[in-house]
């Protein structure tokens, strides 16, 4: 669609509606919809608020009522044609008497994948595709990544001093960044389905790992710990603020497994205690986007195993020094500078006195 | 002076003139001057181009000639009242028949320090002080720092990956930053009187360490090496591109001293091979501003010994990883995060794909 397409302004509004539920629809995508009557007047709006609840089209059509007849449905994603937790939206669109459907993109879900569009055209509706498709894909990048790869989109986050330290030589790390940056991290968590740490972070920092109420329910807190060598008491074992999933390898001794079962902490045994296996397991649980908030060894492994698509580095204007002090990433096995990971789409901004550097991670080619 | 002061626009021009010689006047300050005739018309401009050459006032007065009579001299620094390499400017101002002198700041040089102002007032001239004084002080911060402390103002510079590495685990470090950042470093060197590296940098990188012709003569290249354990062949030993000063401690064996004497490399033996002693020696040689381009151990020592006032960190959008990989700073002996060095006046900008983070270094309080 050209920039002059008359539907762009309505699709922009539908994308705004879709974004209202960011971080809350997984495993579903974000979808927004609106209905114009036969004269082009806005008569209904809707968005998909949460998995299991009504799809965006249904809400917009319900609001429009009889005024939808002969009108136009503008929706960010192809209406579904299958019975999931809700009936197929393509049937609801036909039943409402809509004459034209304007779409940003087809649904890559193999159960839809153009079937909704076919059903609408077979029903005699005009279907216009591809309006603001790039924007719609960007909005649903985590969902699209999971559908395409079977893994959630991964964001690796760290906070370091300007000389690249994530802790002092004595291990002290709270807080390197300031309150503005920590508040931003809480908002970032609210857009994610899970946060992942390793056992070392639990032992060193005893993190609470929540969005501080910015998402309800809180994202899943995930601990990846090969042998379950973890403290008996930790904030993460308290289910009141948020659920925790304890993921371990086959080598975890039975007595430790039993201990956490008695504590009531959900446990998942992987065949191999690796980031890639964890990512697949989390995708199966419906996670579209996960946040790696781990130490250098797990972070390097997650990068190596293709689990990281985006980076969010908070850089504090401090110098901590210390050759043995913790740094963001353990060995990546590089022999040449050209072989390193790099960042594209780099963007920076200030979070109080701290700098936030975000970008898309591009692996060695 | 208030922002509405009528002399501000002329002082701004004088400061621009002064800045034209940035990096070339040491040990002298940067000074710019202009002359307005009795009607307020600009009739002369001048700046101090290099130590030993004419002072700014003299050039502006020469350009103005007879039209200076009854006019105003606007100058960024108090005219001198002593015979140095050139005669006292206060006498030249009186001789030219100037009626009014507008100053940004007094000269902190103990041989002047208000004496020039007194001489002018005694001669019957109106003297207006403090116009754009903050800007003038900022422009001459390196000179003022040397006069106040007996050491040059130090800038610590490094280039690192986004995960805080200045080299790969195998030592490879050329080039972490891109051509835009390297070009910027050449410009930075051109504003400095000397660049300092340690022996490790000579052994690992064999740097050329010049401004690539952006300053004539090139800044002094300084190697601080306790025991002169240095390669026999290195780009720094070639005097053609720039002069090199080899600084060592009392422990340097005589045969190594002899070797460098035979090579014709200038040598300076310190009583203690420490950054602070080197800084004092460089101030005595007339260095106002020096650039520390050294590895983590020397950088940490320079910070510790108060030799670093500003930081310029280039951060490349790459991830290199590797726990044994080189990082910017060795141990600073910190036990608490609150005790760290921090940066004020932080400012960032892009040098191609690399981020430049500059700031003033604030030590532990």
Phi/psi class of residue A212: alpha, beta or left (left: φ > 0; alpha: ψ in -120 to 50)?
left
Return the residue of A nearest to B342 by Cα.
A318
What is the predicted pLDDT for the residue at A252? Answer: 97
Measured between beta carbons, the chain B residues lying within 8 angstroms of A334 are 168-169, 320-322
Measured between beta carbons, the chain B residues lying within 8 angstroms of A357 are 162, 315, 317, 355
The DSSP code for A88 is -
Return the residue of B nearest to A164 by Cα.
B164
Of B318, B323, B355, the CB nearest to A340: B318
From the number of C-beta atoms within 10 Å of its C-beta (0-12, 13-18, 19+), residue B39 rates as exposed
Determine which of B321, B347, B358 to mutate to test the interface with A (most A C-beta atoms within 10 Å): B321
pLDDT tens digits along B240-298 = 999 999 999 999 999 999 999 999 999 999 999 999 999 999 999 999 999 999 999 99
Measured between beta carbons, the chain B residues lying within 8 angstroms of A328 are 163-164
Asked if A182 and A211 touch (Cβ cutoff 8 Å), the reply is no
What is the predicted pLDDT for the residue at A115? Answer: 85
Backbone angles phi, psi at B93, to 5 degrees: -65, -45
Percent above pLDDT 70 for chain B? 99
Whose tokens are 């009583």? That residue is B271
What is the predicted pLDDT for the residue at A365? Answer: 65
Asked if B143 and B19 touch (Cβ cutoff 8 Å), the reply is no
Determine which of A159, A296, A337 to mutate to test the interface with B (most B C-beta atoms within 10 Å): A337
Asked if A248 and A280 touch (Cβ cutoff 8 Å), the reply is no
Instruction: Report how far residue B92's alpha carbon sits from residue B95's, in angstroms, rounded to the nearest whole number.
Output: 5
8 Å CB contact of B163 and A164: yes
Phi/psi class of residue B199: alpha, beta or left (left: φ > 0; alpha: ψ in -120 to 50)?
alpha
Return the residue of B nearest to A173 by Cα.
B337
The pLDDT tens digits along chain A (365 residues) read: 455 688 999 999 999 999 999 989 999 999 999 999 999 999 999 999 998 888 999 999 999 999 999 999 999 999 888 777 777 888 899 999 999 999 999 988 888 788 889 999 999 999 999 999 999 999 999 999 999 999 999 999 999 999 999 988 888 888 899 999 999 999 999 999 999 999 999 999 999 999 999 998 999 999 999 999 999 999 999 999 999 999 999 999 999 999 999 999 999 999 999 999 999 999 999 999 999 999 999 999 999 999 999 999 999 999 998 887 788 888 888 888 888 889 998 889 999 999 999 999 998 76
8 Å CB contact of B323 and A311: no
Of A176, A303, A355, the CB nearest to B337: A176
Active site residues of A: 57
Asked if A253 and A228 touch (Cβ cutoff 8 Å), the reply is yes
SS3 annotation, B2-65: CCCCCCHHHHHHHHHHHHCCCCCCCCCCCCEEEEECCCCCEEEEEECCCCCCCCHHHHHHHHHH
Q: How many residues does chain A have?
A: 365
Instruction: Report how far residue B142's alpha carbon sits from residue B147's, in angstroms, rounded to the nearest whole number.
Output: 9
> What pTM was computed for the model?
0.90
Q: Please, what's the largest Cα pairwise distance for chain A? A: 71
Task: Please give the structure tokens belonging to residue B25.
Answer: 């006047």
Which ranges of chain B have pLDDT less than 70?
A: 1-4, 365
Tell me the sheet residues that pair with B160: B315
What is the predicted pLDDT for the residue at A332? Answer: 83
Average pLDDT over chain B, rounded to an integer: 93
The secondary structure element, H or E, covering residue B261 is: helix B254-263
What is the predicted pLDDT for the residue at A3? Answer: 56
Measured between beta carbons, the chain A residues lying within 8 angstroms of B348 are 348, 355
What is the predicted pLDDT for the residue at B84? Answer: 74
What is the predicted pLDDT for the residue at A170? Answer: 85
- Find the distance separating the first CA and the last CA of chain B, reported in whole Å: 32
Asked if A152 and A279 touch (Cβ cutoff 8 Å), the reply is yes
What is the predicted pLDDT for the residue at A2? Answer: 54
8 Å CB contact of B319 and A361: yes
What is the predicted pLDDT for the residue at B3? Answer: 56
Measured between beta carbons, the chain B residues lying within 8 angstroms of A343 are 162, 317-319
8 Å CB contact of A318 and B343: yes
């Amino acid at each position: 669609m050209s920039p002059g397409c008359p539907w762009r302004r309505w699709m922009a509004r539908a994308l705004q509606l879709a974004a209202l539920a960011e971080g809350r629809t997984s495993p579903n995508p974000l979808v927004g919809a609106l209905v114009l009557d036969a004269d082009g007047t806005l008569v209904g709006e809707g968005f998909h608020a949460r998995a299991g609840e009504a799809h965006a089209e249904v809400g917009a059509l319900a609001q429009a009522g009889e005024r939808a007849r002969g009108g136009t449905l503008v929706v960010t994603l192809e209406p579904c044609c299958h019975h999931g937790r809700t009936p197929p939206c393509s049937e609801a669109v036909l039943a409402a008497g809509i004459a034209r459907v304007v779409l940003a993109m087809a649904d890559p879900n193999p159960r839809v994948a153009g079937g909704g569009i076919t059903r609408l055209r077979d029903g005699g509706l005009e279907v216009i595709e591809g309006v603001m498709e790039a924007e719609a894909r960007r909005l649903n990048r985590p969902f699209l990544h999971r559908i395409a790869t079977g893994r959630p989109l991964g964001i690796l986050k760290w906070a370091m001093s300007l000389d690249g330290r994530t802790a002092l030589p004595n291990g002290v790390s709270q807080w390197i960044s300031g309150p503005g940056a920590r508040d931003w991290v809480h908002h970032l968590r609210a857009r994610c389905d899970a946060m992942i740490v390793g056992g070392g972070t639990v032992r060193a920092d005893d993190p609470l790992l929540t969005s501080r109420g910015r998402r309800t329910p809180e994202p899943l807190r995930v601990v990846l710990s090969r042998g379950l060598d973890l403290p008996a008491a930790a904030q993460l074992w308290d289910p009141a603020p948020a659920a925790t999933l304890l993921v371990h390898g086959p080598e975890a001794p039975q007595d430790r497994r039993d201990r956490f079962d008695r504590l009531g902490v959900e446990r998942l045994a992987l065949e191999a205690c690796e980031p890639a296996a964890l990512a697949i397991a989390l995708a199966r649980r419906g996670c579209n986007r996960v946040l790696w908030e781990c130490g250098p060894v797990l972070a390097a492994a997650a990068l190596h195993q293709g689990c990281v698509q985006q980076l969010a580095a908070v850089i504090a204007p401090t110098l901590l020094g210390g050759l043995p002090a913790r740094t963001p990433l353990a060995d990546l096995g590089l022999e040449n500078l050209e072989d390193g990971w790099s960042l594209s789409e780099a963007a920076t901004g200030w979070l109080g006195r701290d700098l936030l550097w975000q970008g898309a991670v591009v692996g060695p080619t």
